[in-house]
């Protein structure tokens, strides 16, 4: 299973918001500076995360993005399922509407292996929250930038 850049960037961006922005909106350019995620691409990912209830946005000079849920309620698995068009290891593990049933579906032994592999991988991803990543970052000594954002008011 290979995760897309949208999944990897989505996890890094939500971690960055939780770790560096606390309760104030995070601006795209600050996330870009810290995580090196292209701003236009980040906006596309954020649209999916907003639509699915993980982010809220605030417009204006002090605007940006904030987590809609607490960091301990957002898992890596949640983010992957939100941004990936299909997060299954193989397509034949479950019957889906509009998809033709494989002729070996009822007699395929490997289908069960792929299904269990998918369940185990996502069991692991679902066990790690954004809050866990923040805790790991602190243990690694990664510096937080809370309160270090520039203000351009006069």
Count how many domains the chain has.
Answer: 1
Find the domain containing 129 and state its range: 5-140
pLDDT in tens, the chain (154 residues): 688 999 999 999 999 999 999 789 999 999 999 999 999 999 999 999 999 999 999 998 889 999 999 999 999 999 999 999 777 777 666 666 566 667 777 788 888 888 899 899 999 999 999 999 999 999 999 999 875 554 444 4
In a domain, 14, yes or no: yes
CB atoms inside a 10 Å sphere around CB 72: 13
CA 122 to chain centre: 13
Indicate which CATH number applies to the domain containing 21: 1.10.10.10
Tokens of 65: 């993005």
In a domain, 150, yes or no: no
Candidates 6, 72, 15; CA nearest to 44 is 6
Per-residue confidence (pLDDT) for residue 99, from 0 to 100? 65
Element holding 11 (H helix, E strand): helix 5-20
Residue 52 phi, psi (nearest 5): -100, 15
CA 40 to chain centre: 16
């Amino acid at each position: 299973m290979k995760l897309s850049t949208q999944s990897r960037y989505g996890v890094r961006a939500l971690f960055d918001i939780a770790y560096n922005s606390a309760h104030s909106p995070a601006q795209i350019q600050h996330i870009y500076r810290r995580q090196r995620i292209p701003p236009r691409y980040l906006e596309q990912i954020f649209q999916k995360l907003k639509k699915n209830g993980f982010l809220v946005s605030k417009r204006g000079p002090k605007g940006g993005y904030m987590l809609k849920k607490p960091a301990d309620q957002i898992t890596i698995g949640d983010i992957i399922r939100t941004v990936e068009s299909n997060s299954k290891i193989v397509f034949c593990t479950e019957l889906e509407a509009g998809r033709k049933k494989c002729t070996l579906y009822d007699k395929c032994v490997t289908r069960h292996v792929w299904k269990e592999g998918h369940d185990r991988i996502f069991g692991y991803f679902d066990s790690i929250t954004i809050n866990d990543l923040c805790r790991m970052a602190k243990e690694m000594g990664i510096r937080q930038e809370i309160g270090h954002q520039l203000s351009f008011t006069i």
